[in-house]
Amino acid sequence: MDIAVGLFALAYSGLVLFLVANALRKIFPPMRAALTAFALSATVHGVTTLLMGDAMIWALAFWGIPHLLILPALLVSARRQNSTGA
């Protein structure tokens, strides 16, 4: 069960980051859109986990670790889009 929860967190983080970055690409260049998406998502999830009281550390790890694992893929994708001009 713990593995399923971890995979859910990783999948959700990836989906959120890539969708927000894609939406921001209409306003910013790909690299800036990726970093802004990461900052927005980390801020929103960070603030909401601070409201969890005793479970704050577990909730922060639940969202923070997958975000950090997805960040390199997001940056590589942005770099590719930057170099191809897509």
pTM for the model: 0.79
Q: Where are the domains of the chain?
A: 2-84
C-alpha pair distances (Å), 31 with each of 24, 48, 59, 68: 10, 26, 28, 16
Reading the block at residue 39, the tokens are: 């900052």
DSSP state of 1: -
The string of pLDDT tens digits covering residues 18-66 is: 899 999 999 999 999 999 999 998 888 888 888 877 888 888 888 888 8
